[in-house]
């Protein structure tokens, strides 16, 4: 899913959600309306059955009472107080038993002769109810039924009236003697309905509400009454002469729910039982559904959004991974090219170095050849003396041999041997000087070289009563020929020993340390130091201040050439505290 325009999608999602929520609301409202209507119908049916059964229950009571023996007697002899009194008591007894409001008997003119409430302040006895419709109907021989507010008691009730005849036979053709009336209380129903949230009304055929769980609606009409009805109501005092105004004229909060309704006709007077389903309930149910829909949509929306974000992150990660791969590939390519270039340069460098080295070697060799010229004189001088001595000793040996003096002969031969040994030594030194510099190249641990040189020199130092002080401050490794390095150190130590030989203090100090990428060996002595004119020729071959036979003047020259071959330096100077100091610097091994 590639979202081009998230804002447009959001707007679409919002519009869609609003549409869905609105549709849900409308649909739920319709469904709730029909559901609630159906439930209301059922509720109304139950109420109607309940109400109908109560009305029917007492329907026959006045009729049956008409057969009481005292009834007819009382009607025929209304002045007989004993009969009236007896009837009063009978009616009262039955009234209490049957739990009706009142039972009373009217004569043919509508005057009450006997009543169950004869002993109360609101007694009906003597009262005229001739104006009541139930009486006029009953006196005609029909059953009379009526609902109204009691004229004497002000208590509303349902009146059922039956004509009373002198005998069963008179019932068919004679006029009634009087009328028996039963008054029933229906207000109990109001209490039952009060638990209902919806307004419930029972109204008469004129549309006047006389029972309701909405007290404000009572004795008000569901629609405006015309003059004729109003006149009729006034005539019958049905609702105690109070003016009947429509429910619609009530303040708004008192007629809440007045509108759509379900209705049912009940009883024999064409009463209308009505239930007004609460619009607020419908709205509530619809709102609940709409809310549920909104919630679902919100969850779906959030889930989709989370999914989208996750996808986007994955894509981003993928893109960045691709980018990384590409960059790495590119860098690798660049590195490979650089590596090739480097390799080519390195090869070239190697070639140049090789050229340089061979040139250097050639130069060194050439230098040596030059020196050879100088050497020839020295060598001739050095060798001539022992050679002349050998000849003289040989001549002597021949002479002593002729005289058969074996001991003298042997003495001269020993001199010859010594002289030739000395010659051999000179030649040996020359040999080592002419040898090529690159014999064995290895990593040299300078500490070990120093220790080896010191070991070899130990005897000589002891013989001369001199002390050698070695101070290895730092270990150091260099590249070169180990044997030759030792040779250099031995040369320098021997020179130092020679220098201190005539001194009072015979000390030689050797230190090793690292300085600026170099291994530095300092050999200092407590000798007389190097005179200025000597310093100028110090490293020249065959330059020596030592007596003939003691020094050849090759030590420093050879040492210097060895050190140079290792790319190092050999320097000499006089130390501030007296004595000479030779400083040997060699480049350190890369990782040492």
Residues that bind ligand ADP (CB under 6 A): 491, 495-496, 499, 525, 527, 530, 534, 538, 543-546, 551-557, 580
Cβ atoms of residues 507 and 466 within 8 Å: yes
Sort 139 into a burial class: Cβ within 10 Å, 0-12 / 13-18 / 19+: buried
User: C-beta of 493: minimal distance to ligand ADP in Å?
Assistant: 9
CA gyration radius, the chain: 74
Nearest to ligand ADP of 177, 466 (CB atom): 466
User: C-beta of 486: minimal distance to ligand ADP in Å?
Assistant: 16
How far is CA 21 from each of CA 294, 300, 456, rounded to the nearest angstrom? 6, 14, 107
The position carrying tokens 């006389």 is: 210
Task: Give the C-alpha separation, 589 to 324, whole Å.
Answer: 40
Nearest to ligand ADP of 237, 537 (CB atom): 537
Q: Which of 426, 435, 546 is nearest to 494 (CA)?
A: 546
Sort 475 into a burial class: Cβ within 10 Å, 0-12 / 13-18 / 19+: middle
Nearest to ligand ADP of 217, 543 (CB atom): 543
Q: DSSP letters of 453-466?
A: HHHHHHHHHHHTT-
User: C-beta of 521: minimal distance to ligand ADP in Å?
Assistant: 14
User: C-beta of 372: minimal distance to ligand ADP in Å?
Assistant: 17
User: C-beta of 544: minimal distance to ligand ADP in Å?
Assistant: 3
Q: Which of 509, 515, 504, 529 is nearest to 454 (CA)?
A: 509
User: C-beta of 585: minimal distance to ligand ADP in Å?
Assistant: 18
Task: Give the C-alpha separation, 131 to 134, whole Å.
Answer: 9
User: C-beta of 378: minimal distance to ligand ADP in Å?
Assistant: 11
**Beta strands 220-221; 245-246: pairing state:** parallel
User: C-beta of 471: minimal distance to ligand ADP in Å?
Assistant: 18
User: C-beta of 382: minimal distance to ligand ADP in Å?
Assistant: 11
Nearest to ligand ADP of 222, 584 (CB atom): 584
Nearest to ligand ADP of 375, 552 (CB atom): 552
- The SS3 of residue 276 is coil
| 173 token code pair | 């053709």
Cβ atoms of residues 246 and 20 within 8 Å: no
| 211 token code pair | 């029972």
User: C-beta of 339: minimal distance to ligand ADP in Å?
Assistant: 49
Q: Write the CB contacts of 558 (distance below 8 Å, at least 6 apart in sequence).
A: 429, 432, 433, 487, 491
Nearest to ligand ADP of 61, 499 (CB atom): 499
Nearest to ligand ADP of 150, 527 (CB atom): 527
Cβ atoms of residues 160 and 66 within 8 Å: no
Nearest to ligand ADP of 127, 575 (CB atom): 575
Nearest to ligand ADP of 415, 506 (CB atom): 506
Q: Which of 420, 416, 500, 515 is nearest to 460 (CA)?
A: 500
User: C-beta of 501: minimal distance to ligand ADP in Å?
Assistant: 10
Cβ atoms of residues 457 and 468 within 8 Å: yes
Nearest to ligand ADP of 372, 475 (CB atom): 372
Task: Give the C-alpha separation, 586 to 465, whole Å.
Answer: 31
Nearest to ligand ADP of 139, 552 (CB atom): 552
Cβ atoms of residues 239 and 250 within 8 Å: no
User: C-beta of 526: minimal distance to ligand ADP in Å?
Assistant: 10
Task: Give the C-alpha separation, 138 to 123, whole Å.
Answer: 22
84's enclosing H/E stretch is helix 81-98
Cβ atoms of residues 586 and 519 within 8 Å: yes
Nearest to ligand ADP of 200, 496 (CB atom): 496
User: C-beta of 546: minimal distance to ligand ADP in Å?
Assistant: 4
User: C-beta of 459: minimal distance to ligand ADP in Å?
Assistant: 19
**Beta strands 477-480; 442-445: pairing state:** antiparallel
How far is CA 439 from each of CA 435, 481, 561, rounded to the nearest angstrom? 9, 7, 14
Q: Write the CB contacts of 478 (distance below 8 Å, at least 6 apart in sequence).
A: 443, 444, 446, 485, 519, 566, 568, 586, 587, 588, 589, 592
Name the phi and psi angles at 258, rounded to 5.
-75, 120
Nearest to ligand ADP of 36, 572 (CB atom): 572
Sort 470 into a burial class: Cβ within 10 Å, 0-12 / 13-18 / 19+: middle
Nearest to ligand ADP of 174, 531 (CB atom): 531
């Amino acid at each position: 899913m590639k979202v081009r325009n998230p804002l447009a999608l959001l707007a679409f999602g919002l519009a869609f959600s609003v549409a869905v929520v609105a549709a849900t609301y409308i649909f739920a409202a319709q469904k709730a309306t029909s559901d609630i209507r159906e439930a209301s119908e059922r509720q109304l049916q139950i109420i109607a059955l309940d109400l109908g059964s109560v009305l029917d229950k007492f329907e026959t009571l006045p009729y049956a009472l008409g057969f009481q023996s005292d009834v007819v007697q009382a009607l025929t002899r209304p002045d007989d107080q004993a009969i009236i009194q007896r009837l009063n008591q009978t009616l009262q007894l039955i009234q209490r038993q049957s739990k009706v409001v009142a039972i009373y008997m009217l004569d043919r003119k509508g005057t009450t002769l006997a009543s169950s409430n004869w002993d109360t302040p609101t007694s009906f006895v003597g009262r005229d109810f001739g104006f009541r419709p139930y009486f006029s109907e009953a006196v005609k021989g029909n059953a009379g039924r009526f609902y109204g507010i009691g004229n004497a008691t002000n208590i509303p009730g349902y009146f059922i009236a039956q004509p009373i005849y002198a005998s069963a036979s008179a019932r068919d053709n004679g006029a009634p003697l009087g009328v028996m009336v039963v008054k029933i209380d229906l207000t109990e129903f109001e209490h039952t309905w009060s638990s209902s949230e919806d307004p419930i009304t029972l109204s008469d055929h004129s549309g006047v509400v006389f029972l309701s769980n909405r007290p404000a609606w009572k004795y008000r009409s569901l629609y405006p009454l015309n003059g004729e009805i109003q006149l009729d109501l006034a005539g019958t005092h049905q609702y105690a002469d109070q003016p009947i105004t429509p429910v619609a004229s009530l303040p708004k909060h008192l007629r809440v729910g007045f509108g759509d309704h379900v209705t049912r006709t009940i009883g024999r007077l064409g009463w209308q039982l009505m239930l007004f389903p609460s619009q607020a309930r419908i709205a509530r149910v619809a709102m609940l559904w709409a809310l549920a829909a909104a919630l679902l949509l919100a969850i779906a929306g959030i889930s989709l959004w989370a999914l989208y974000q996750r996808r986007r992150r994955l894509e981003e990660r993928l893109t960045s991974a691709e980018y990384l791969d590409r960059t790495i590939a590119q860098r690798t390519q660049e590195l490979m090219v650089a590596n090739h270039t480097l390799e080519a340069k390195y090869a070239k460098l190697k070639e140049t170095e090789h050229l340089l080295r061979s040139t250097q070697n050639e130069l060194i060799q050439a230098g040596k050849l030059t020196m050879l010229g100088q050497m020839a004189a020295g060598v001739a001088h050095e060798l001539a003396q022992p050679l002349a001595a050998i000849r003289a000793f040989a001549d002597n040996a021949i002479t002593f041999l002729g005289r058969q003096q074996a001991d003298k002969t042997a003495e001269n031969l020993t001199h010859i041997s010594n002289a030739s040994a000395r010659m051999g030594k000179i030649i040996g030194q020359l040999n080592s000087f002419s040898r090529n510099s690159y014999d064995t190249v290895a990593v040299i641990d300078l500490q070990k070289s120093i220790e080896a040189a010191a070991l070899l020199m130990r005897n000589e130092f002891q013989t001369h009563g001199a002390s050698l002080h070695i101070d290895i401050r730092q270990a150091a490794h260099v590249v070169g020929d180990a044997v030759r390095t030792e040779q250099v150190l031995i040369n320098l130590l021997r020179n130092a020993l020679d220098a201190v030989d005539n001194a009072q203090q015979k000390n030689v100090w050797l230190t090793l340390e690292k300085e600026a990428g170099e291994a530095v060996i300092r050999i200092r002595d407590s000798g007389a130091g190097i005179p200025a004119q000597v310093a100028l020729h110090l490293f020249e071959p065959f330059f020596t201040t030592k007596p003939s036979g003691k020094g050849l003047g090759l030590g420093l020259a050879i040492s210097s050439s060895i050190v140079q071959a290792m790319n190092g330096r050999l320097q000499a100077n006089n130390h501030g505290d007296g004595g000479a100091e030779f400083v040997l610097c060699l480049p350190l091994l890369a990782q040492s």
